[in-house]
Structure formats: C-alpha cells, structure tokens
Amino acid sequence: MKKLFCMLMSLLLVLSLAACSNNNNNNKGSGDKDLSNVQKIIAEAQNMTLEELAKKAIEESKGKTFYGVGNSSRGKTALPLFIEYLKTIDSSYTLNYEWQQPKNNKIFDQLTADGLKETGTFAMTLIQDGNQIESKMVQPGVLDTFIPKGWAEANNIDAAKYDGYLPLQTLNKIFEYNNVNPDKKYTNCWDFVAEGEHGLFMGIDSEIVGKNFLYMLTKDEYANYLKEAFDKLPADKQAYFQKTVDAVKADATSLALGPNGAYALAWIKLWVNSYNQQTDDGPICNILVKKSSVDQFGLLVYSKVRSVEETDETSVTNLNVAAYQPGYEGIGGYAYCHYLFVTDNSPLPWTACAFIAYMVETVDGFSAWGKDLGGYSSNPKVAADTEAKYHHSEGLSSKVVCDTTKDRGYDWWVKTGKLVVEDPKYCASVAFTVGSWIEMLDKYTPQ
C-alpha cells in the first residue's frame, strides 16, 4: 500500500505540474484574432479612467437589467451605490439589477452552465477559491480578468503585463478562543491540534478555501512557520507531536515537499482528524462568545465579531484573538481573496468593467465590505481611506471597543500575525498530490 501510494503521488505530481504550467491570464493571445469580443473590450477598457468607463456603461446599459453572481451577498449592496455614481454623470440613468449568491459551492456550476450560452445572463462575478477559479473558470475561458487603470496605477502595476487575477479584497480567518477560563490559553499554533482539542471550523469540503489553507501550509514559507513554532514548544509537547511528524516524513518526501514539509503534513493530519465541523462562521462566532462555551476555540472569519449581540450570556469581550496575545507563536490564521471577473460572454461588458473599477478604485464602491473589520481592499489608497473613515484599528466600527475588535490591519496580519495567504497557482499545483493525501485522512466531525 505504501509503494502504491508513492507511485500514485508521483504520477499526480507530474500531472499537476503540467497543469500548472499554463498561464492563468487568459486575456492574452498572440494577437487580436485570438481574443473574444469581451476580451477585446477589456483590452480597451484597461486604458480608460473610471469616468470614461462610466460613460460607456451608461450608453450600454441604460434602462436594462444587470445580473451579477458572487460568493459575497454584498454585491447587492454595492450595485445601488454604483448606480447612484452613474447618475452623477447622467441624472436620467436607470438600471435594474439582480445579485445571486449560490450556496454550497454551486457558483462554479452556475457560471459553467451560463458560459455555454452565446450571450450569458451574468455580466460579472465576485468569486473565491483560487484553485477552482484557475482550473474551472480561467483555463476553460469562462471568466476574463479586467485590470482597471486606476487600480493598476495605485499598485504601480502595468495592467498589460499583469499575470494574475483582480482581487477586490483579502479576508482573514483567524484563531479565536473563549477566554472565560483565564487558565486556558493558546500560546502556540500547535496548541490547536493538541490531544483533546476540537476547533470549530467549516468543513473543508463545504468551503473549499479551507482546503486551500491546508494546501498552502505545505509551501516552504508556511511550513517553515510551523517548524519555527514547533521549536518554541516545551520538550513534552514536542515529544507528543514528533510522533506524527515522524509518521508522515516518508509522505512528505513522496509529495516532493520542502525540508519542513513533514511538519506541515503533521499539523494538517492532526487538524483534519480533530476539528469539529460547523455549517458556517456565523454560528461558530455565536458559540464562542457565550459564557458557557468555556475552553472552546475556532478558526473563523474575523468580521463575524461585528454581529455579536451583547447580552448577559454573550459578549465579544468573551473572545480572544490568539495572534494578539503576548508571546503567541506561529500562524494566526489564513487569508484568501474575493476576485472580480467579467464573464467571457457578458451581456453588458462595459457596465461590468465600470462596476468592477468602481469597487476597487473608490471608498464608496468598497464600502459594502470596507465598513467591517477583517476585509482589506487590494487598492492601497482605498485601504488607507477606508481605515480613515471607519477607524477599524481603534475598534470604533464595532458595537464594543476592546482588544478583539481593534483590527491591526493587513500588513500586521501578514507579517506579524503570520497569516497563511492563498496563492491560486500553488493551490492548483498541489491539488492532486497534497489534495489526494488529505482525502485519505480520517475526518473527525462530531455533532
């Protein structure tokens, strides 16, 4: 069985590397004849300002209906703000709209089916899960990347040469724990996979960005974080975890992982075998903030603390952010992006481009997401202006001001908080190899 597993992993590694060799920017061809009609519009739109795009949008969509689809429901909040912006240019402008949010990862099926039409229903999408975006959406040509001129300039990027997707925002999912018992502390990321621990977490098959998090742990940068945290553990804890590390060393070699790959696989194995599967991050947060939820922890979207209702039983003050605690070692959670795309058969491509530019180039356009902590605009100017407007770092955007609600910002989280940041290309490159290995693990999901 061991030899069979190694042979399987070797074959899958070759296949995944071959798949990953494809360029993910499908807007580029050897000439205009290789571009779809929407891609030709995108190529023109990337040289235009937001106002110029807005005028094109007004001409194209006045009085029509705009259909969008996304993993975030807040596209429905952003669209009327966009319409109001267009009305500042043409007061007679009108636009009907509908925004859909498919559940249970059905967005890929929905976009694939819509992509088979000559002219699709959906004009654009806001979508997550870099791995499936790469393999199911970009490589088959269902979605096209549009890089707005203002966003590119703010990031000092040449839009024509940019090889990647357009992120609206980066979100973080972080380790948080109930602090009612002052003697219960988590001071190292290995504490979350210790014996008897069962963190509350959305299932890796129901929200695939959670599986991408596990993939990313095997990248050298993050495997090194785990090894460094392991080295900071006391001797008795090291001895406990070392058994699992030793047990997966051969697998790390078969998977062609780096020098600390075994530590990543050990953490992954212990996590998958222990986490307590939940349906959504909202319920996880609601559990953790209760006085009765002593000694429980979870890995969840940071912004969920915004919705905590303060009562005698529940309070955001009952919650600690692990990475904020003095002396904490290792990863503080993970980060993934919401990406913006124009559909390759978009019925309203100019309007889609203008809406996308509005969301990534203006504070108002980003406000549907920016009003809450834990989401960071990919435009550094919009990010700074959003912070100035909402004061997330001071906790003033929250119902209760405490250490937990004082967001330390993207730079702190990536550097000091050691977030594991999703890389679509890396996820795609190990989806068959590491992914198959993860699928062979037992999943502990008590009710």
**In this predicted model, what pLDDT tens digit does every residue of 362-392 receive, in sequence order?**
999 999 999 999 999 999 999 999 999 999 9
Q: Are 229 and 329 in contact (CB under 8 A)?
A: yes
Q: Is the pLDDT of residue 31 over 60?
A: no
pLDDT of 138-175, one tens digit each?
999 999 999 999 999 999 999 888 988 999 999 999 99
At 206, the pLDDT band (50, 70, 90 cuts) reads: confident
Nearest to 223 by CA among 255, 172, 268: 268
Q: Tell me the H-state helices in 188-322.
A: 209-217, 220-231, 235-247, 249-254, 261-272, 281-288
Mean pLDDT of the chain: 91
Residue 385, burial from CB neighbour count under 10 angstroms (0-12, 13-18, 19+): middle
**101-126 pLDDT, tens digit each:** 998 779 999 999 999 999 999 999 99
Q: What pLDDT is recorded for position 13?
A: 37
User: Helices 261-272 & 235-247, crossing angle to 10 degrees?
Assistant: 90
Percent of the chain with pLDDT over 90: 84
Per-residue pLDDT at 5 exceeds 50: no
Q: Are 435 and 211 in contact (CB under 8 A)?
A: yes
Report how far residue 396's alpha carbon sits from residue 405's, in angstroms, rounded to the nearest whole number: 8
User: Which residue type does 103 have?
Assistant: K
- Separation of CA 331 from chain center: 16
Query: Average of pLDDT values for 174-188?
Result: 97
Q: How far is CA 217 from the centre of its chain?
A: 15
311 burial via Cβ count (<10 Å: 0-12, 13-18, 19+): exposed
Listed as own residue / partner, the contacts of 8-13 with beta carbons closer than 8 Å and 24 or more positions apart are 8/436, 9/251, 9/254, 9/255, 9/433, 9/436, 9/437, 10/254, 12/432, 12/433, 12/436, 13/255, 13/256, 13/432, 13/433
d(CA 127, CA 107): 8
- pLDDT confidence of residue 10: 41
Q: Which string of DSSP letters, residue by residue, matches 10-32?
A: HHHHHHHHHHHTS-S-TT--SSG
Reduce the DSSP state of residue 141 to 3 states and report it: coil
Sorted by where each starts, the structural domains of the chain and their CATH numbers stand as 2-169+337-394 (3.40.190.10), 173-332+412-439 (3.40.190.10)
Burial class from Cβ neighbours inside 10 Å (0-12, 13-18, 19+) for residue 246 reads exposed
Two tokens at 114? 């819509």
The tens digit of pLDDT for each residue in 261-296 reads 999 999 999 999 999 999 999 999 999 999 999 999
DSSP strands (E only) in 281-391: 297-301, 319-321, 333-343, 375-377
Name the residue with tokens 């979870």. 298
Answer yes or no: are the C-beta atoms of 442 and 273 closer than 8 Å.
yes
Q: Please provide residue 31's backbone torsions phi and psi, each rounded to the nearest 5 degrees.
A: 180, 175
